[in-house]
Structure 1
Amino acid sequence: MKFRAKINDVGCLNHFTRVVNTITKLTKTCVVRFTPDNIFFVLSGKVTNGGVSMWCELLQVNFFDEYQLEGLSADANEICLEVSPENLSRALKTAQNAKFVKIKLTKKHCPCLTLAAELPSLSSFSRTVTHDIPVDIIPRRLWHDFKEPIMPDFDVSIYLPPLKTMKSVVDRMKNLSNYLVVEANHSGEMNLKIETDLVSVTTHFKDLGHPPWGDGTSQTASQRRDVEAMAHARVDIRKIQQFLMGQQVNPSKSMCTFSRRFYPKRLAQ
């Protein structure tokens, strides 16, 4: 297996660094899949047990000026590695003003992703900083655990309010409860709720809009009958806060989908 890549553009380097920094806030370890066209950061936690799953897909041509990959074989031309994103983030921080950054798969005392950054110098001699980031190579028999997840059928899909605004609300609510109820409907309404024996607090958002999902065949019959019915989920508020604190890529839009049955307002009254 061989992998080597090179980033010359400072803007691409900074963007790649922000992506890695965001992932660092979400998990201590993740799997990186290198394919001829893409780089994937994958975390396949058991959501049913309170874990977090993550799928991050990057087109390599958007970041790398040079990109060479030789996988296990012609029919399995990819490489899967388990890596600490924090170690990768630390290495990238030293390369923010670099003339270029090279990343390659090496074998030192163990398999490593070696990152070499050539830094600007006032003298005629170049300065190169090298980081060896230990990784574990994922055997091919386990690759099926790190394929793109299938989007489940959902009841509601809605755009989130500005993440900074949402973070401000969640930061205030965390002192009241360990759990947050998030609910939304097809009228573009979304609520963040705290409900305890002592206090009930709700923040309302309106006119959020909905992502375009093709011909809309994912909608259920109940959705079409009552656009004001609320789909809801009760989540650990620390998980929501962790997601909001980790955002460093400044997305223009973020979306949220609910895959539970509706929770009709008329039954809650």
Structure 2
Amino acid sequence: MKFRAKMIDLGCLNHFTRVVNTIAKLTKSCVLRLTPDNLYFVLSGKVANGGVSMWCELLQVNFFDEYQMEGLSPEANEICLEVAPENISRALKTAQNAKAVKVKLTKKHCPCLTLSAELPSLSSISRVVTHDIPVEVIPRRLWHEFKEPTVPDFDVSIYLPPLKTMKNVVDRMKNLSNILVLEANLGGEMNLKIETDLVSVTTHFKDLGNPPWGDSASQSRSQSWDPEAMAHARVDVRKLQQFLIGQQINPSKAMCNIVHNRIVHLILLQEDMSLQYFIPAVA
């Protein structure tokens, strides 16, 4: 297995740093899946057991000036590594004004992602800061756990309100209850609700719009849903807050799919990356 890549463009470096910082806020550990065309950050939580899951996809050509990788074999041309995104985030902090950043899969005392940042210098001798980030190589027999999740057959799909506004609302609601009800309909309306024995609080959003999903199975399912009826899911407010706090990527589109009483599926889209986050409903 071989992997090496290089970033020279400062805008690409800063964008990649924001993506990694977002991932680091969402999970302490995840799988970095490398293929010839894409990088993926994958958290394969068992939603059925109450865990969140995440799928973040990056088109490598939009981030790296050089990118070479060789997987286990021509038929299995990918590499799966378990990483702590916070370690990558820390390493990238030292590379904010770097002239170039190289990333390489190396074998030190253990497998590592070695990140080398060539920093500007007043002298003719360049300064290079190197970080060895320990990783664990995932054996091929486990790769099936880290494939792209299918979009669930949702009842309602809706565009999210401005994420900063939504975060401010959720931050306040977190102080009232551990459980938040997120509900939406096919008329572009969305509500965030807290209901306890002592208090009931609802924030209403209107005219958000509903994404066109074409002829998918989910679309046909949502067509049978009453446009006025609210599909809802009760979720752990901290998991929703964690998603909103971590977001640093300024998506061009932010959407939410709701499987009634089962799952909230959040999607952030940009031209060169996408992030999906699944929060299971609680009973």
With the shorter chain as reference, the TM-score category is over 0.9
Tell me the number of residue pairs that the alignment of Structure 1 and Structure 2 aligns: 262
The CA deviation at 1:219 is: 3.4
Q: How does 1:161-180 map to 2 (within 5 A)?
A: 161-180=161-180
Q: In the alignment, residue 10 of structure 1 is paired with which amino acid? A: L
Provide the rounded CA distance (Å) in 2 between the counterparts of 1:221 and 1:27.
32
1:53-92 map, 5 Å = 53-92=53-92
Q: Which amino acid aligns with 1:155?
A: D
Aligned to 2:15: 15
Question: Could you tell me which residue of structure 1 aligns to residue 281 of structure 2?
Answer: none
C-alpha distance in 2, partners of 1:22/1:233?
24
Q: In the aligned structure 2, how far is the partner of 1:195 from the partner of 1:118?
A: 53
**Equivalent-residue separation in structure 2 for 1:206 and 1:200 (angstroms):** 20
Contact 1:180 1:236 in 2 (8 A): yes
1:117: how far off? 0.5
The separation in 2 between residues aligned to 1:198 and 1:152, in whole angstroms, is 35
Give, in angstroms, the shift of residue 215 of structure 1: 2.9
Using the alignment, how far apart are the partners of 1:72 and 1:226 within structure 2? 50
**Larger CA deviation: 249-258 vs 210-219:** 210-219
Residue aligned with 1:32, SS: strand
CA distance in 2, matches of 1:71, 1:226: 48
TM-score by length of 2: 0.90
Structure 1 distance, partners of 2:4, 2:173, is 46
**Structure 1: 4+ residue segments shifted above 6 A:** none
What is the root-mean-square deviation in Å for CA atoms of aligned residues? 1.4
Distance apart, 1:223 and its partner CA: 4.1
Q: How does 1:1-269 map to 2 (within 5 A)?
A: 1-215=1-215, 217-220=217-220, 223-224=223-224, 226-260=226-260
Q: 1:155 to 1:221 in 2, by over 3 A?
A: closer
Is the contact between residue 156 and residue 186 of structure 1 (CA under 8 Å) also seen in structure 2?
yes
- The alpha carbon displacement at 1:217 in A equals 4.7
Tell me how far 1:260 sits from its aligned partner.
Answer: 1.9
| AA matched with 1:152 | P
2:152–2:218: 8 Å Cα contact kept in structure 1? no
Distance 1:222 1:148 in 2: 22
Q: For residues 222 and 6 of structure 2, what CA distance do their matches in structure 1 show?
A: 51
Q: Deviations over 1:138-175 (max 9, x none)?
A: 00000000000111111001011000000111111111
Largest Rg, 1 or 2 = 1
Deviations 1:189-216 (A, max 9, x none): 0000000111111000001011121136
Given the two structures, how large is their TM-score scaled by the length of structure 1?
0.95
Superposed CA deviations along residues 116-136 of structure 1, whole A, max 9, x for unmatched, are 000000011100000000000
Whether the aligned pair in 2 keeps the contact of 1:155 and 1:220 (CA below 8 Å) is no
Name structure 1 gaps, 5 residues minimum. 263-269
Is the Cα–Cα contact under 8 Å of residues 155 and 221 in structure 2 kept in the other structure? Answer: no
In structure 2, the residue matched to 1:267 is: none
Question: CA 1:213–1:225 in structure 2 vs 1: closer, same or farther (change >3 Å)?
Answer: closer
